[in-house]
Amino acid sequence: MKGADRVAVNAPRVLYLVISGAPAPEGLPSLVTLIQKSGWRVVVFSTPMGTRFADLDELDRLTGQPVRWEYRMPGTGERRPPADAVLACLLTFNSVNKFAHGHADNFAIGLLCEMAGGLSGAGGRDPALQAATGVAPRVRGEPGHAAQYGGDGAVRSGCAV
């Protein structure tokens, strides 16, 4: 096993924060700080439009690594640590819809789409997240149908949780 692939004992849990070009990006540094104070390591990913609104230098400084917003070529750049949790906030209406329909036309939304079924939490996929993203059978981005899967749609105030 390579050094970068090993998990350090007592390493903080990793939260992927996915942002887009939604209003109020000035609150992102405070959000990152709060998450870090709760014992999480924060890794930030952005849609291309999100890079125009957020203070990337401040987010880089707070997290200790650059905000990732585009795909990297194999063998280049640094791998990000695997996520224990994902918070997609703030998301534009456009990004929420791309995510819900699996339209992965940029790195950040593609990451969300790929991870929708990959985080296991307590050993199983989150039914509310499945329903919100159309992963669950017969649910295609219609949060109103999420109750039958144990959730309510998992999209609140521009955040997919």
Convert the pLDDT of each residue in 56-103 to its tens digit. 999 999 999 999 999 988 888 888 999 999 999 889 999 999 999 888
Count of CB atoms situated within 10 Å of the CB of 93: 10
Please name the residue ranges forming H helices in the chain.
28-37, 56-63, 93-101, 107-115, 127-133
What's the CATH architecture for 3-89+96-115? 3-Layer(aba) Sandwich (3.40)
Residue 11, pLDDT > 90, answer no
Q: Is the pTM of this model over 0.85?
A: no
Rounded Cα gap, residues 73 and 70, in angstroms: 10
Residue 22 above 70 pLDDT? yes
Domain spans of the chain? Answer: 3-89+96-115
What are 14's strand-pairing partners? 41
Determine the pLDDT at residue 26: 86
Determine contact, residues 63/42, Cβ cutoff 8 Å: yes
Model pLDDT for residues 144-161, shown as the tens digit of each residue = 444 444 444 444 444 444
